[in-house]
Structure 1
Amino acid sequence: MTRLFSSGVFREMARKGQSPLFARLLGLTDIADRCTADATVGQAFDAAFGVLKTAGRRDEYVYRAALTHKVLMGTHSLNTACMLTEFRAGACKADLAILNGTATVYEIKSERDSLARLANQVANYKHVFAKVYVIASESHVAGVLDTVPDDVGVMMLSSRYQISTVREAEDRPDRICPATVFESLRSSEAVTILRSMGVAVPDVPNTQRHAVLRGLFDVQDPAAVHVAMVKTLKRTRDLAPLSDFVNRLPSSLHAAALSIQVRRADHNRIVEAVSTPLDAAMAWA
């Protein structure tokens, strides 16, 4: 059931308007038996998610979906905030970050995860994001509190699929490392940030461009870089154009739609795939 929400299934539906992988995976579960006779593929996804979000079975996707619905689309909206997934931050990749007035990163520690790498991950995230949270299962909260510094926020996803804040994160844009931020960006984004701060960007050969841009970032004020980064990424990674697409999908696939990149021309194929009667979809295999 976990693999039903993988990028492989989502992209297969985007390319073909169907997913043989979905049909094969569903055949290995009892989800079809949980659905009505006239159920669609979308309703099967929702049924599978209903099982997966039960405490003890939850993986990273369940936590990402909770943050998507309850923070990105609950506290904020697709028109005012943007979400980054698998975003490079130093030597690590951030599970999920939301940019609104500030940049907030969320490290997911599900029931299936270990806390062994957590201290190092948090240290890397502080170089890029003003606010750092760890969102964990009830069983992990005590261990998280013992592992991370007091300026790191801690959230809990309850057995009832509710997010509560155990400890608020401090908003500290002053502690980021501008050079590390630069390494997380596309070259065009880096140039936009520098120019928005009034920094002249010299015209140099491509072989020298990376070193020159990094050098320029390295001497900037951390808080100013953070403000410019948030403004720039909210524009370059804008999710508002996906609103209509997301609204046409079952809620269990919203997190996938906002984090797995597919061509806009393929959106209708995905919508048609999830609207397919489940009986017909089983023949995709």
Structure 2
Amino acid sequence: MTHECECSFAAVASRNLPLLARCLSGPVIRNIHHTGQSTYLSAAFREARADELFGRSTTLLTAVQAIFDLMRRRYRSDYVYRAAIANKIFLGRHSPATTTLLSELRVWRSKADLAMLNGTSTVYEIKTELDNLDRLSSQLADYSRMFDRTYVVTHDGQAQPLQSVLPSHVGVIVLSKSFTLQVVREASSNADNIDILTVVDALRRSELVEMTRALCGSVPQVPSVRLVAECRQLLSQHQARSVHREMVRLLKKRRAFMRDDFRSVPEELVPAYLESGVSVSEWSAITDRLSGTCIGEIMDT
């Protein structure tokens, strides 16, 4: 174990693993930042007897880092996969200055787990050991209507079966037991095949107007209730790759970071900070609060 905490992984009952996994989340981080407390965290800690696992004087930061280690070993939830992608691809392979990371992006009938925008668009659909594959086919169909490259990120046991059933352009990445990401099949470019109406549906109204102006030269002067339909009609006449390129430019503007923004963020909590909705200028304050608050204080509320 990498963190100074006297938690015994074996001492954590299996029934408490999902409970503790949900402690690693954007809403919990947001509540801690705004109020110094979290109703969910205090209830989860009491149920799991966190004071016995970690010690009442253990800081929240040390505790949540230990919880992440526990999840990595015994309960590889969606959050564990998100953390691997955020740290090893977004912050490791790319640069926040040139790449935008978006989560839970609505795409037609689906929500993309994680999408990265840089010179192109890449979507990552996570399928953990805890997931079933019932919706995977429809999810991939939706993503293929919007993104250039699509990857399924999964575990060792699922990689081979998936390769035989996935569309040929979809890639496969495995999160190994040693917490490394291994590309076992590369995704191929799909930008020429995107569906313009799906892209339009995913954009905000202001983004749609900006895209129409950029690609068509002007925006239709029509009543507000007709604007989206008119913009959609104009954009449908353009090449899919041109619309995709403009979509990437617009989505990148939704969230801009620099590498220094992450200096105060524990790597285990990168997804939680990103999904908390808290301004990046306040991230160091979140870490300070986590470092300065003990488990006992949370459990006594």
**Common fold: TM-score over 0.5:** yes
Q: CA–CA distance in 1 between the matches of 2:189 and 2:51?
A: 46
Q: How many residues align?
A: 282
2:109 counterpart of 1:91: yes
Do structure 1's residue 251 and structure 2's residue 273 form an aligned pair? no
CA shift in 2, pair 1:33/1:77, >3 Å: farther
**Corresponding residue number in structure 2 for 1:102:** 120
Structure 2 counterpart of 1:12, from 10, 16, 31: 31
**Percent identity (aligned):** 33
In 1, distance between residues paired with 2:44 and 2:239? Answer: 51
Tell me which residue corresponds to 1:21.
40
CA–CA distance in structure 1, aligned partners of residues 166 and 219 of structure 2:
38
- Range that drifts further, 44-53 or 12-21: 12-21
Q: How far is 1:31 from its partner?
A: 5.2
Give the 5 Å matches for 1:178-193.
178-193=196-211
After the TM superposition, which of the residue ranges 103-112 and 224-233 deviates more from structure 2?
Answer: 224-233
Q: Output the TM-score relative to the length of structure 2.
A: 0.86
Q: What secondary structure, in the 3-state scheme, does the structure 2 residue paired with 1:105 have? A: strand
3-state SS of 1:260 partner:
coil
5+ residue gaps, structure 1: none
Task: State the match for 1:217 in structure 2.
Answer: 235
- SS state of the match for residue 23, structure 2? helix
Q: Is structure 2 residue 248 aligned with structure 1 residue 195?
A: no
Greater shift in the superposed pair: 186-195 or 103-112? 186-195
Relative distance call for 1:74 and 1:207 in structure 2 (3 A) is: same
State whether residues 25 and 276 of structure 2, in contact with CA within 8 Å, keep that contact through their aligned partners in structure 1. Answer: no
- In the alignment, is the contact (CA less than 8 A) between 1:19 and 1:284 conserved in 2? no
Inter-partner Cα distance in structure 1 for 2:134 and 2:296: 45
In 2: Cα distance, 1:109 partner to 1:283 partner: 33
For 2:184 and 2:132, the matched residues in 1 are separated by: 19
Distance 1:243 1:260, change over 3 A: farther
Deviation of residue 95 (structure 1)?
Answer: 0.7
CA distance in 2, matches of 1:32, 1:65: 26
SS at match of 1:249: coil
Structure 2: segments with no counterpart, 5+ residues: 1-19
CA distance, structure 1, for counterparts of residue 108 and residue 88 of structure 2: 28
The SS at the match of 2:91 is helix
- Mapped partners of 1:265, 1:76: distance in 2: 22
Report the equivalent of 2:12: none
Question: Matches of 1:144 and 1:106 in 2, distance apart?
Answer: 15
C-alpha offsets along residues 46-104 of structure 1, whole Å, 9 cap, x if unaligned? 100001012x5111111111000000000002111001111111211111111111100
Q: Does 1:235 align with 2:235?
A: no
Quote the residue 1:138 is aligned against: 156
Residue number in structure 2 paired with 1:155: 173
Measured on the aligned residues, the alpha-carbon RMSD in Å equals: 2.2
Structure 1 residues 1-150: aligned runs within 5 Å: 1-29=20-48, 32-33=51-52, 35=54, 39-54=58-73, 57-150=75-168
